[in-house]
Amino acid sequence: MKSTFGFVNEENMSMLTDLYELTMCASYFDHKKFEPATFDLFIRRLPPTRSYFLFAGLEQVLLFLERMRFTEEHIKYLKTQGFKDDFLDYLRNFRFSGDVWAIPEGTVVFPNEPLIRVTAPIIEAQLIETFALNTINLQTTIATKASRVVYAAGGRSVIEFGLRREHGTDAGMKVARASYIAGCNGTSNVLAGMVYGIPVFGTMAHSFVMFFSNEMESFRAFARTFPDRSTLLIDTFDNIKGAENAITVAKELEKNRFKLRGVRIDSGDLVSISQTVRKMLDENGFGYVQIFASGDLDEYRIEELLNKGAKIDAFGVGTRLGTSADRPYVDIIYKLCEKANEKGEFQPIMKLSEKKATLPGRKQVFRFKDGKGNFVKDVIALEGEEVGGEPLLVKVMENGKIVYNLPSLDEIRRKALENLAALPEKYRMLRGAAKYPVELSPKLKRLIRELREKLRKIEGAFSG
């Protein structure tokens, strides 16, 4: 193998899959199993430090379903892995032809709720599993984390700053996207700005200050280049001296009718330093100069800083947001919930085991709201069952074609902010949040009972 970046792109993405998807499909093909089946993509449980999820990543899944193809290069490689020619011929002509229902991105969701529901011939439905999980896991993990950080900041700006420690190039892009959806005001990632239209922000690094003969010289140089939007990093040597220098530059800028945008503090006791710097700025008539804080921040640290009276206008949040460091994944899975028999009749399927039980049948999620639009409870029901509430899953794909008006990123973000605002405080607080009620509908409960009974009989027959 020659050296390579190993970037994933639209051409090779269909191969970004676990081998077992292909081995299972090869065996289905071998045994002429083409019956349709339905899979639910959902999150099994809440981690201890989360009380809801913010769903994100659907757009990329739908694009994948519409465009995934196997090329001759892929076929050639798969042949070396022992796949047979007839199955490889099938892959050559592979197109996803299924129907997909999904909850729109930016929706607050809970464990066991189907987020994406795929109905397709078994091989197609199986083959898309890994990419769908990979996409939804990352973006939902990050959107959820970011929504907590934004919540802690209580209306102050939050900029996603974590590109350097996010997990590779694609995470750099998707973290910026998911964070913006969750209410961050922008990102440091220039490519995310270009590709997704997300506002980009950036100040300066310590190296910039140190490259000049002294801090003052570096501040002046930067302010000359960006007179209308400089944020000066004041902690390279000493925050207070740095603030004095920034005030000098702010005065010089005012002489030219410009305004210093802000100062950034990246280390030290952010509470006392921000208070002192705020006072210094205000006393010199620079009430408009913002204080921007960064450095190992997350929702807990921001909450603590603000509780202690830190005077901070905006937060740059990096590694702990960009990796969701306290919980870098969600327990997301993709499970078979019904399959058609030879006559084409769908039969509900469930997995019984104690800790890993799944919900059978084709389902819909209904959300109940109070008079003010606040979320009261969700009910997971069988499709077509009348239980009241607002159905969350909408049809997004029919016969392999997107039949859904993909919302813009700003529309998704608006939905997310509305959803988060409608989630009552008690379910949203950072610590000790109440458990949001998610019920099973009467028909779904009855179906589960029946299937349990049936499986028990089968088990009895086994051991008898």
Binders of a second copy in range 35-74 (CB under 8 A): 37, 39, 59-60, 63-64, 73-74
CB atoms within 10 A of CB 353: 7
DSSP for 388-427, please give it.
-SEE--EEEEETTEE-S-PPPHHHHHHHHHHHHHHS-HHH
CA atoms of 229 and 241, how far apart (whole Å):
21
Residue of 324, 364, 419, 441 interacting with a second copy (CB under 8 A)? 324
Exposure string over 396-427, b if 16+ CB within 10 A, otherwise e: bbeeeeeebeebebeebbebbbebbebbbeeb
Residue of 122, 234, 392, 397 interacting with a second copy (CB under 8 A)? 122
- Residues 10-29: x where in contact with a second copy by CB under 8 A, - otherwise, as a string: x-xx-xxxxxxxxxx-xxx-
Residue of 256, 344, 386, 462 interacting with a second copy (CB under 8 A)? 462
Residue 272 lies near a second copy (rule: CB under 8 A): no
Contact status, residue 345 vs residue 338, Cβ threshold 8 Å: no
Residues 6+ apart with CB under 8 A from 12: 71, 74
Number of residues that bind a second copy (CB under 8 A): 119
**Between residues 183 and 242, which has the closer beta carbon with respect to a second copy?**
242
User: If you ran DSSP here, which 8-state letter would residue 200 be given?
Assistant: B
> Whole-number minimum distance, CB 293 to a second copy, in Å?
15
> Whole-number minimum distance, CB 439 to a second copy, in Å?
26
**Between residues 250 and 423, which has the closer beta carbon with respect to a second copy?**
250
The one-letter amino acid at 147:
S
Q: Which of residues 345-364 bind a second copy (CB under 8 A)?
A: 349, 351-353, 355-356
> Whole-number minimum distance, CB 159 to a second copy, in Å?
10
Q: E-strand spans in 257-318? A: 262-265, 290-294, 314-317
> Whole-number minimum distance, CB 157 to a second copy, in Å?
15
Residue 5 lies near a second copy (rule: CB under 8 A): yes
Residue of 113, 129, 298, 378 interacting with a second copy (CB under 8 A)? 129
Residue 232 lies near a second copy (rule: CB under 8 A): no
- Residues 150-189: x where in contact with a second copy by CB under 8 A, - otherwise, as a string: -----------x-xxxxxxxxxxxxx-x----------xx
Region near a second copy per CB under 8 A, out of 92-100, 278-286, 302-310, 323-331: 323-331
> Whole-number minimum distance, CB 422 to a second copy, in Å?
26
Residue 224 lies near a second copy (rule: CB under 8 A): yes
Q: Which of residues 426-445 bind a second copy (CB under 8 A)?
A: none
- Residues 397-416: x where in contact with a second copy by CB under 8 A, - otherwise, as a string: ---------x-xx-------
Residue 394 lies near a second copy (rule: CB under 8 A): no
Q: Which of residues 186-215 bind a second copy (CB under 8 A)?
A: 188-197, 200-208, 210-211
Strands 438-440 and 375-382: parallel
Contact status, residue 209 vs residue 180, Cβ threshold 8 Å: no
CA atoms of 360 and 298, how far apart (whole Å):
38
Q: What are 363's strand-pairing partners?
A: 382
Residue 147 lies near a second copy (rule: CB under 8 A): no
Q: What are 81's strand-pairing partners?
A: none
**Between residues 5 and 155, which has the closer beta carbon with respect to a second copy?**
5
CA atoms of 192 and 169, how far apart (whole Å):
11
**Between residues 77 and 288, which has the closer beta carbon with respect to a second copy?**
77
State the Cα torsion 410-306-172-393 to the nearest 10°.
-40
Q: CA dist 178 to 3, 115, 146, Å?
A: 31, 16, 8
Contact status, residue 261 vs residue 290, Cβ threshold 8 Å: yes
**Between residues 142 and 433, which has the closer beta carbon with respect to a second copy?**
142
Residue 332 lies near a second copy (rule: CB under 8 A): yes
Residue of 107, 134, 179, 274 interacting with a second copy (CB under 8 A)? 134
The one-letter amino acid at 402:
I
Q: Which of 236, 232, 257 is nearest to 247 (CA)?
A: 232
CA atoms of 96 and 65, how far apart (whole Å):
6
> Whole-number minimum distance, CB 158 to a second copy, in Å?
16
